[in-house]
Amino acid sequence: MVDASLQPLLEAFTQSLAPNPELIKQAEAFLKQASQQPGFSIMVLQLITLDSVAVEVRQAAAVNFKNTIKYHWVGRDTEGLGAAPFVIPDAEKEQVKSHITDLMLSAPPRVRSQLSEALSIISSHDFPARWQSLLPHLVDKLASPDPQLVNGVLSTADSIYQRYRGQFMTDQLSEELQYSQALVQPLLTCLQALSKGVSEQAANADALRLLLSNVRLVASIFYSLNSPGLTEAFEDSLDAWMAEWHTYLTLDAPGLAEADPEKESVVEGVKAQVCECLHLFMERNEEEFAKFLQTFTQDVWTQLMKVSQAPGQDRLALHAINFLTAVSRSVHHKLFEGADTLRQICESIVIPNLRMRDDMEEMFEMNWVEYVRRDTEGSDSDTRRRAASELVKSLTDQFPEQVTQLFSGYVGAMLAEYAGSPAAHWRAKDCAIYLVTALAVRGKTAAAGATTTNALVNLQDFFAQQIGPELAAAAVNEQPILKADALKFVTTFRSQLPKETQLGLFPALINLLGSESNVVHSYAAIAIDRLLAMKEPSVNGAAGGLRFQAAELAPLLQPLLEKLFGAFKLPESGENEYLMRAVLGVLRFVGKTIAPVAPACLQQLSAQLLAVCANPTQPGFNHYLFESVAALVRFGCEADPAAVAQYEAQLFPPFQVVLVEDVQEFHPYVFQILAQLLEVRPQGSPVPEAYHAIFPPLLTPTFWERSGNVPALSRLLQAYLSRAGADAVTRGYLQAVLGVFQKLVASRAHDHEGLAILGTLVTCLDYGGTVAQYMPTIWQLLFSRLQSSRTSKFTRSLLLFLALFVCKQGAQTVADSIEGVQPGLTLMILQTVWLPTLPSISGSHEEKLVAVATARMLSGTSQLAAPQAAELAGQLLAALVTSLEGGAAAGAEGGAEEAGEEEDYAAGGYSAAYAKLHNARKPDRDPLPDVADAKLALAEALGKMAAAQPGRVPQLVQAALPAEQQQKLAGYCQAAGVAIA
């Protein structure tokens, strides 16, 4: 019987598995609410223990428990998003920790896996400092004679210690490792007991599988605990550990082989994990490992001689080759210097693992996206091909002449094999191209491809004889894998090919964009994009310009774009991000000379926007699509500002679909491009009615509640106000705009956006007739935020707003407005905000703005002219001179404080991330274009002060400025022709 208190939970979890979506929804709502109550996690654990409950329901409860732990074990900063989320009380946490281990070990496998994940989450927060009982409990259970129970203990320990992988030693990690040394000897004892069991159960396949599964877990824990560095406990027992690993590397258990070649056998899993451990020791602890090296090199070599091409043996082959590569890079590389050894490596290890297998060919044809991702983006690091290539590179570094000569012979033999029967032996040429690449590349960067090469490999001849003809072949659909290889070769060695050769490649590359193979036309697009982005080498430290000029490729522009856009119509390439990235690369390359093809490009991109709105599934493609649109607007309107109307006519229909259909992923993109279109409109031209129509909906809270929208929406709002501020007032939008400002300024993540909008209001609207009446309320909001939640980012943004306000409306106007809130407040703000924040301002325009505003406050306000303000005025003058002389950086502060604030804001719930469009970036306009030099502006301001208040300036200078700064100031005044005495 189920306890009455658990009955509602049992019913909810049972209901969550029902086929009725409405019942599932109700159950999820109930469970979500219940999870916010103290005691919930304990009740779920109680339900999981009941054998009378169906295992499917217990599994659902375990999944819910894991998620509850994930989201409610520790609190999260949700500032700006309302109430803080529920956090499990400490007393309840202690109850969970006291029961979860035993419960997990006794649970059915499907339930255990979920509870193990939950335990891992808890341990990541609490272990070992706040969960001292866990390790002794696990060590105690590790001695159990029940291999199933031991499996649960080892799985738990493995999940706990996985987080140590890839970490560098720190004081905290050192303390944790020191604490965990209590596990080392029991773990070794466990391994030795498992070895005894493996020997005794050699004829019992089922028992052997479980025992070897446990051995693999021990090896995984061994790897995790040694990943940060070798500890004393492991070093003292290293002989015993290595003896065990030798035993398992040489273990032969044919009865455990898998019938399915796709599956890894348990024996191969153990050997692969052991090879990974050996690789770790070879790289991190070579000195301590040296005495075992000869034995293990032979063991691993022997295993590689036996490994087949079956996918199930990929991990073993990969880690074994990686170990040999590490040995070849070390001082022990002479183990491989013999001609027979190198020949055997090439014949038995390199070539078999470089050759294309049937499953790779199938991936090429059936899953082209994964093939391209692995082959071009470096995500094939866990493949045999990459491992074999790295071994070749390492051996070439150690024995350049010997290896190059030997492997070149094999390359020649494979090419001859291909030449004898191209249709039957195309794999031989594929392997040869990979081998040449591995032999030739010595240094490589993403921007330039291979930057240094093996001088013993004649790349130019190989290109002319094997690569060029492959690319130039008229039949673009024949032997697609070899064409893909040739395209990748060009992309890799582009920096090594003469410019004339590169130029001559473009017709062939354009032709290959028409290949029916997705991989081939994607590789052609990648090659085109990389070639267009190439730069000439830097000269005397100066960066080189683009290698190709737009005029050189002008005759090819039309067919290139036609082929690129045509490739989108090929099957499965409708949202091909490599093609769209190439489109973007072409648009950036031609820049302002885009005019002849701009209308056609705009039409194509607009149509693609409409198409993807229905079902956005490819984030990479979508980003490059919007970048391409932004680039077209940028370059097209720079060349012909009057063309903006054409762009608006083409882009507004898909943009309206995005807004009407609420395609949230695209909102930040659309807002940025709308702002861009407004900003590039000729000054004084009337804003089209379409902008006025979409403006009111954009002021509704729904859009602003999505964190990813805020930066783009803020920019769009500023662009609209700067171009149509008067219209915004007459149409009654100002109150809503001020509401947006109020919402943003209350958020630590987006307060700077609110102040930027406010700056636009005081700059672009009729201040006296419109904005001034709202300033008392605005000041109240700003100063309240300053008092309740002050951050360095907020004070910097506030100072920039104040400076802009002063420069646009006058210092006394701003001071009087502040005084209207509270007499004496101006001096208080200058003392507590302006003065301490001034040194943190950076950026040429911002520095000039604040400097000019400070000078105008000094010379143009009655508040600072008062005798009691003399000390503050002197401090401001001294800070200003220091800033003008380049001392501002010393006062910068708080950069790290806000770095995570926007992340915290977004962490509270789903919101489309803000993806900034590089080609739609906001122009960096000088807010004070009429001020050429802030130093002269200061001198002129002091001249006015001297005229209005004779004798005051010398007093301030003498009292506040050291001699060196007095000389600097005198220099400013002399340059400006101003007398301040």
For 272-322, what is each residue's pLDDT tens digit?
999 999 999 999 999 999 999 999 999 999 999 999 999 999 999 999 999
Q: Which two tokens stand for residue 772?
A: 């001034």
pLDDT, tens digit (0-9, with 9 covering 90-100), for 923-966: 888 999 999 999 999 999 999 998 888 888 999 999 999 999 99
Return the half-sphere exposure (C-beta side, CA atoms, 13 A cut-off) of residue 816.
10
For 237, phi then psi, to 5°, come to -110, 20
Mean pLDDT of 362-376: 90
Share of the chain above pLDDT 70, in %: 95
Residue closest to 912 by CA, chosen among 616, 596, 482: 616
Which DSSP helix (H) or strand (E) runs through 699? none
- In sign, the C-alpha dihedral spanning 527, 533, 539, 541 is negative
pLDDT, tens digit (0-9, with 9 covering 90-100), for 590-607: 998 888 889 899 999 999
Residue 603 identity = Q
- Between CA 946 and CA 438 the distance in angstroms is 75
Q: What is the pLDDT of residue 475?
A: 93
| Partners of residue 542 on adjacent β-strands | 539
Contacts within 8 Å (CB) and 24+ apart, 637-641: 637/680, 638/592, 638/680, 639/592, 639/593, 639/594, 639/595, 640/595, 641/680, 641/681, 641/682
- Between CA 872 and CA 959 the distance in angstroms is 11
| Partners of residue 453 on adjacent β-strands | 441
Q: Which two tokens stand for residue 615?
A: 């079902």
Residue closest to 927 by CA, chosen among 742, 759, 697: 759
How far is the first Cα of the chain from the last one, in angstroms, to the nearest whole number?
98
Q: What is the pLDDT of residue 633?
A: 94
Q: How confident is the model at residue 544 (pLDDT cuts 50, 70, 90)?
A: confident
Residue closest to 785 by CA, chosen among 752, 816, 761: 752
Residues 6+ apart with CB under 8 A from 75: 84, 85, 87
**Coil, helix or strand for 546?**
strand
Q: Lowest mean pLDDT: which of 166-175, 392-401, 827-836?
A: 166-175
- Between CA 16 and CA 668 the distance in angstroms is 36
Rounded mean pLDDT of the chain?
90
Pair 636, 589: CB distance under 8 Å: no
Q: Which two tokens stand for residue 247?
A: 């035993």
Q: Determine how β-strand 441-445 pairs with β-strand 449-453.
A: antiparallel
Q: How confident is the model at residue 893 (pLDDT cuts 50, 70, 90)?
A: very low
- Between CA 501 and CA 191 the distance in angstroms is 61
- Between CA 575 and CA 159 the distance in angstroms is 38
- Between CA 31 and CA 642 the distance in angstroms is 59
- In sign, the C-alpha dihedral spanning 632, 634, 635, 639 is positive
- Between CA 873 and CA 775 the distance in angstroms is 25
pLDDT, tens digit (0-9, with 9 covering 90-100), for 122-170: 998 999 989 999 999 999 999 999 999 999 899 989 989 998 998 888 8
- In sign, the C-alpha dihedral spanning 211, 213, 217, 220 is positive
Residue 65 identity = F
Residue closest to 38 by CA, chosen among 81, 4, 2, 72: 72
- Between CA 496 and CA 488 the distance in angstroms is 14
Q: What is the pLDDT of residue 892?
A: 40
Q: What is the pLDDT of residue 898?
A: 40
Q: What is the pLDDT of residue 684?
A: 78
Residues 6+ apart with CB under 8 A from 840: 792, 796, 888, 891, 892, 893, 894
Q: What is the pLDDT of residue 81?
A: 39
Peptide bond into 422 cis (omega under 30): no
pLDDT at 477 over 90: yes
Mean pLDDT of 897-917: 45
| CA angle, 836 then 841 then 842, to 5° | 155
Q: What is the pLDDT of residue 380?
A: 55
Q: What is the pLDDT of residue 118?
A: 93
Mean pLDDT of 26-33: 92
| DSSP states of 756-769 | HHHHHHHHHS-III
Torsion (CA) 372, 377, 379, 383 in degrees, nearest 10 = 60
Mean pLDDT of 746-756: 93
For 79, phi then psi, to 5°, come to -50, 130
* CA separation, residue 733 to residues 84, 475, 699 (Å): 33, 62, 8
Q: What is the pLDDT of residue 854?
A: 96
Pair 758, 718: CB distance under 8 Å: no
- Between CA 902 and CA 711 the distance in angstroms is 11
- In sign, the C-alpha dihedral spanning 451, 457, 463, 466 is negative
- Between CA 176 and CA 139 the distance in angstroms is 16
Place of tokens 């509640």: 705
Q: What is the pLDDT of residue 668?
A: 94
pLDDT at 902 over 80: no
Residues 6+ apart with CB under 8 A from 653: 606, 610
Which of 99-108, 667-676, 887-896 holds the top average pLDDT?
667-676
- Between CA 136 and CA 921 the distance in angstroms is 57
Q: Which residue has the higher pLDDT, 104 or 801?
A: 801
**Coil, helix or strand for 125?**
helix
- Between CA 427 and CA 424 the distance in angstroms is 8
Q: How confident is the model at residue 377 (pLDDT cuts 50, 70, 90)?
A: low
pLDDT, tens digit (0-9, with 9 covering 90-100), for 862-875: 999 999 999 999 99
pLDDT, tens digit (0-9, with 9 covering 90-100), for 188-224: 999 999 999 999 988 899 999 999 999 999 999 999 9
pLDDT, tens digit (0-9, with 9 covering 90-100), for 39-65: 999 999 999 999 999 999 999 999 999
